Structure 1
């Protein structure tokens, strides 16, 4: 009898464990098509008038971003209205979510999409789940209050080192009126943001790109609210990720010193790895971070020497090739400037400015770098680089002994003169007989 009870208990525990394993939610990686912000919808709310919308995204690192969105709402009617608001959920992992309606913080709840999707007019929706305010929020006649949501969201990070961001603005259609203004801001962790991380292609071009490396989009009530999307490339993170994959103790030692900003030790560790390993693509990745270390150590000749080593090999940086080129460009110009090799610096800047694919911040940086060349030196270089006139080219060829062109040109001129003399004399004789 006891044995039978034991078997029943064992079976029950087994069933509970199985169901427990099934019930544990799995974290789904961010998908490129998933929005980092899907919008705060007005599900129901009478005569609520949306006045201003402010959406901001702070990219913390390659893994996560912090989203804050606020909606200023006014009751323009004569009776108290009750706002039911919510945000659709996707497969993107969201944590630390807070829902507010001034001046209070509200609880939120998850509601099945079939209960919400059909309630919203003007927008075709098919979301599986929503997170809504836990109850309808009252707004008295003439009151203006702000609904806001904030949360941390998992970033989409591609295999080639690209962060992709999509911000939905179609949700504005769920409100009873177009807001007077919408402002969307994307900013980046100041400790890791770099000029070469930015793209130069946007679904909707930013209204402003600030010196603090933030992208801003501004719309008024006449605008057609299109979804905003952009890419960002944390180049240095991708380089380090690829090095970690090598599973080398020497590379790990190198990265440790580099992360600790002990650049002298990082250089030594990098050299040790290079000297004790077979040439692979990892060598170029180590060289890239060694060049950064040399810049920090102000060993500018070594910076240029390292880049010569990299460029002497078959480079294969995939999608990041352009961004890594830009990273190298910035360090090269920094080195040439500090070495006072202004002619090479000038030529490199002028060559790169011909590139139609420069991002905004890099183009600005190149202009600022050019302005740092001493005025007298810059004037001399520009005079030397000025293309010669036709007469100067003629004289230069004559001095260089290139007589063939000169003789041909001289022969043509003499022939023209002889022809003109003959023609004039013949005309005079003809006039004499009449």
Structure 2
């Protein structure tokens, strides 16, 4: 079937007069239909605009009415040759979206609210809602492509739903992703933003747990739970040589990089641990609280306070070799009250055990607790994340440590 072409082009001439396309009725762009406006598009408060076809917006875009789609076929393309404002008092519900404007570094000025349910193609041009107060939300099942230094969101991004998600955020002309993984509640709602600036003025770097040697003084992220349905899961941060201090890039190579979080209750930076992925230049950990995050560098003598030996390959086939997740500690005084958590790659906690190793309580490839699989089910062979939390040192001067890493579960 050939696409139908539906163009609305209004050209006005005269001093002080600007071209504008206004809708105050019902406008429906059906599948396989093209709609284009070279002037400002204004969906008035009385207007209803439903897009299941392809809509090309070459000028400013304003929505004060109903703007939505019926089918999963709609595409809205912002393709101006000058700065484009995206505004309005009502949410614009869009399916697929293309941002393609090379007129300036930040050609999209978002002061309204857009809600994306399909794919956002950040082909060219930064979407700036940080300076204009707008809001952009990705729904369950949505994603983004072509995100780069040249095209991302400068400001807060919301994510609604139960899937893991990489936020298309940046600042100062740099794309600096952060990710969350939570897959137990479809009503989970996160909001995240990247700051290419020193956090020390707001969150003192002098106030930190003693195992942290240095805190990143060039960048930080805020990742917040936006509703009570959002449960704890995994947080992923990244590093890049163009924004991250070289000492932290080196720390990743030496397994001394960690994620740190500002704990508002104690006004202290705390160590959240982290599993380092050198290929992706990311670090991931499980968290029980959200807020302000950045990268930390551990003291060389605090990377493994109790010299634990961790055997992170598990093959529970009954041959007596690597049948369970073995953590070998030199003494009970070295690591007391050891708690182990295991997460799958989607951020679902599949195992948790306090006083790990006592009374035969070990991870042998089976789940535990309120999970997405039955307690009796064996987990599939895959790569998992582990989180260790324990107390060490003397009873008089007790300290706490948290670390994370990868766990490889085999079915052989």
Question: Highest CA radius of gyration, 1 or 2?
Answer: 1
With normalisation by structure 1, the TM-score equals 0.25
Select the structure with the greater relative contact order (CA < 8 A; seq sep ≥ 6): 1
The structure with the greater share of residues assigned to helix is: 1
Q: Which structure is higher in strand share?
A: 2
